[in-house]
């Protein structure tokens, strides 16, 4: 069965970091239930493939399903590997079977391949993005940073540093990162993407803004040994030329869902990259159709459009189109908290931080970045007083409860950070998610990180403004801020 070349990003490599639900729960949207894990009919036993970021270990948990990997084979960047080579947030492709309960399964193969790996060309803190090997990488609330960075955030990434990125392609061709890791000097450069501007005479082509020189490259899997525009490829090399072109040692045409046939189960999450109508659109390049039997979660068909993030699940038909039985509309994750845990209720998958109830579900990505380095980290291993970073969204909307997408334990610190939508304003205080933020004496900044006066801040701030406050906890529901700034919602 032949699919469009761009689909390689979804199902044959981890470049797109597509999240295949495998019946997993939604992380957003008023209609979703955080703990639901409805099993798909037939599971992924029919040569099905699940692709998504690892949320935790203890075997491998992908999209809410815990896969027994005791007999699985692992492939890491095209080489044989083990589960120990993987990290939370890495995007893997799992083939195997899923049990009737929809929450456990058995993996036959687990494959990881990065989206891009190479030197950082530029870092834009305000725009929350960087460029690696000519690829624009967007950093969003769901991005995990390896603690190998001096600061595990975009502020800790330096120009010239070699990084590895797992990500998901949006409609503009940008990589929305799920994980960034620093890599040592001498690491082989890699990039996945679609061939454009092919110059066969001079043996060059583009992958977005990167020129690939393949004069000395070994070509793998190309029909007739020829590269074509529109091919989805992986290019590898160890050096750049005088004009920053990649001097490729190998260029491989990526195969698409090896062995897939009509009727296979596919579940993918990604951005809508082409939109004709609610019955005809692409998710990360994969053609999707809906019908009267399709269930919409977290929204309605009218909410679909270009660059909307969704999970679509169903069966592939003979034309390579995913006939969706469910489309789950995913929402942004604007809330961020860094503070100590007030209390933990592991039995009910919840805890309290800054007086705010936080819940975790099967899709929450848990990672221990403290010196304890517990792997896998579970809520049962978290205690009151632990210093945590939590990113997610209010769920259900208006409830004041945060459903965590990212849950990380850090080494103890006294700084408290709260980002969320303002509920009320009373100069010199604002209220975010029930937490009073006293801004007396604080430094204020606009969305461009430019200092502004307190008067300017309070002239602009209003209910539903997205604001981040840094300071210290005065009580469970009060922060004394040293810095307050407006934030953009990504």
- pLDDT tier at 168 (50, 70, 90 boundaries)? confident
Q: Parallel, antiparallel, or unpaired: how do β-strands 250-253 and 218-220 relate?
A: parallel
Instruction: Using alpha carbons, select from 3, 1, 2, 43 the residue that is nearest to residue 20.
Output: 43
Q: Read off φ and ψ for residue 158, nearest 5 degrees.
A: -115, 145
Tokens of 434: 């029930």
**Average pLDDT of 345-373?**
94
Top-confidence range, 137-151, 320-334, 342-356: 342-356
Sequence-ordered list of residues with C-beta below 8 angstroms from that of 300, at least 6 positions apart, any chain: none
DSSP 305-354: -TT-EEEEEEEE-TTS-EEEEEEEE-----EEEEEEEEEEEGGGTEEEET
**Average pLDDT of 118-126?**
95
| Dihedral angle over CA of 374, 376, 380, 384, nearest 10 | 40
User: In the chain, which residues fall in CATH 2.40.50.320?
Assistant: 335-410, 416-486
CA distance 376 to 296: 33
Q: Which residue has the higher pLDDT, 473 or 28?
A: 473
pLDDT at 15 over 60: no
Give domain 335-410's CATH architecture: Beta Barrel (2.40)
pLDDT at 385 over 80: yes
- Beta-bridged to residue 159, according to DSSP, are none
According to the model, what pLDDT value does residue 247 have?
Answer: 98
pLDDT at 340 over 80: yes
3-state class (DSSP) for residue 270: strand
According to the model, what pLDDT value does residue 51 have?
Answer: 78
* Cβ–Cβ < 8 Å for 162, 181: no
According to the model, what pLDDT value does residue 255 have?
Answer: 63
Share of the chain above pLDDT 90, in %: 64
- pLDDT tier at 260 (50, 70, 90 boundaries)? low
Tokens of 316: 């592939």
* Cβ–Cβ < 8 Å for 92, 54: yes
- Write down the CATH number for the domain with range 416-486: 2.40.50.320
**Average pLDDT of 215-222?**
96
According to the model, what pLDDT value does residue 363 have?
Answer: 82
Share of the chain above pLDDT 70, in %: 88
Instruction: Using alpha carbons, select from 104, 103, 107 the residue that is nearest to residue 37.
Output: 103
**Average pLDDT of 49-77?**
88
Tokens of 204: 């060059």
pLDDT at 9 over 50: no
* Cβ–Cβ < 8 Å for 110, 72: yes
Tokens of 163: 């990084």
3-state class (DSSP) for residue 446: coil
Q: Which residue has the higher pLDDT, 101 or 192?
A: 192
3-state class (DSSP) for residue 82: coil
Please tell me the least confidently modeled range out of 244-253, 363-372, 433-442, 463-472. Answer: 363-372
Whole-number average pLDDT of the chain: 87
Q: Parallel, antiparallel, or unpaired: how do β-strands 322-329 and 116-124 relate?
A: unpaired
Please tell me the least confidently modeled range out of 215-219, 244-248, 330-334, 431-435. Answer: 330-334
- pLDDT tier at 49 (50, 70, 90 boundaries)? confident
pLDDT at 101 over 80: no
According to the model, what pLDDT value does residue 256 have?
Answer: 55
Q: What share of the chain is helix, strand, coil (3-state, %, to 5)?
A: 5, 50, 45
Q: Which residue has the higher pLDDT, 126 or 478?
A: 478
According to the model, what pLDDT value does residue 44 have?
Answer: 52
Instruction: Using alpha carbons, select from 247, 243, 253, 288 the residue that is nearest to residue 269.
Output: 288
Topology of the domain covering 190-253: OB fold (Dihydrolipoamide Acetyltransferase, E2P) (2.40.50)
Tokens of 327: 């489309």
pLDDT at 265 over 80: no
Q: Which residue has the higher pLDDT, 74 or 223?
A: 74
**Average pLDDT of 259-269?**
71
**Average pLDDT of 39-47?**
46
């Amino acid at each position: 069965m032949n699919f469009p070349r761009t689909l390689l990003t979804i199902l044959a490599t981890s470049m797109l970091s597509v999240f295949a639900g495998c019946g997993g729960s939604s992380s957003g949207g008023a209609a979703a239930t955080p703990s639901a894990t409805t099993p798909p009919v037939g599971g992924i036993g029919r040569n099905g493939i699940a692709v998504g970021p690892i949320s935790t270990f203890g075997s491998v948990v992908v999209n809410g399903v815990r896969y027994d990997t005791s007999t699985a084979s692992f492939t890491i960047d095209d080489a044989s590997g083990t589960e120990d080579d993987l990290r939370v947030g890495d995007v893997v492709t799992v083939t195997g079977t899923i049990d009737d309960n929809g929450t456990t399964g058995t993996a036959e193969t687990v494959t990881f391949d990065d989206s891009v790996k190479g030197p950082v060309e530029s870092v834009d803190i305000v725009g929350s993005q960087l460029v690696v090997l000519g690829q624009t990488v967007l950093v969003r609330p769901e991005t995990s940073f390896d603690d190998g960075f001096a600061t595990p955030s975009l502020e800790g990434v330096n120009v010239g540093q070699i990084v590895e990125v797992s990500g998901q392609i949006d409609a503009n061709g940008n990589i929305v990162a799920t994980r960034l890791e620093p890599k040592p000097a001498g690491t082989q450069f890699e990039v996945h993407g679609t061939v454009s501007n092919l110059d066969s005479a001079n043996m060059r082509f583009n992958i977005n803004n990167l020129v690939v020189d393949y004069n000395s490259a070994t070509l793998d899997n190309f029909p007739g040994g020829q590269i074509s525009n529109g091919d989805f490829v992986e290019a590898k090399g160890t050096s750049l030329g005088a004009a920053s072109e990649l001097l490729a040692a190998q260029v491989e045409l990526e195969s698409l869902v090896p062995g897939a046939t009509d009727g296979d189960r596919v579940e993918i999450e990604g951005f809508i990259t082409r939109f004709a109508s609610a019955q005809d659109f692409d998710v990360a390049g994969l053609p999707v159709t809906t019908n009267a039997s399709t269930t919409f979660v977290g929204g309605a068909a009218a909410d679909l459009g270009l660059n909307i993030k969704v999970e679509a699940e169903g069966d592939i038909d003979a034309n390579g189109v995913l006939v969706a039985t469910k489309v789950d509309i995913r929402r942004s994750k604007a809330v961020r908290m860094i503070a100590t845990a007030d209390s933990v209720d592991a039995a009910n998958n919840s805890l309290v931080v800054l007086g705010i109830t936080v819940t975790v579900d099967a899709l929450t990505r848990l990672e221990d970045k403290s010196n304890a380095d517990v792997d896998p980290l579970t809520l049962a291993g978290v205690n009151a007083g632990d210093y945590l970073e939590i990113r997610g969204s209010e769920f259900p909307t208006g409830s004041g409860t945060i459903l965590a997408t990212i849950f990380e334990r850090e080494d103890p610190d006294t700084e408290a950070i709260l980002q969320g939508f303002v509920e009320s304003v009373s100069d010199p205080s604002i209220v975010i998610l029930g937490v009073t933020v006293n801004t007396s004496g604080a430094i204020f900044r606009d969305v461009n990180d430019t200092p502004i006066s307190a008067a300017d801040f309070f002239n602009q701030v209003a209910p539903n403004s997205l604001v981040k406050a840094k300071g210290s906890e005065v009580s469970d529901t009060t922060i004394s801020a040293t810095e307050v700034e407006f934030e953009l919602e990504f």
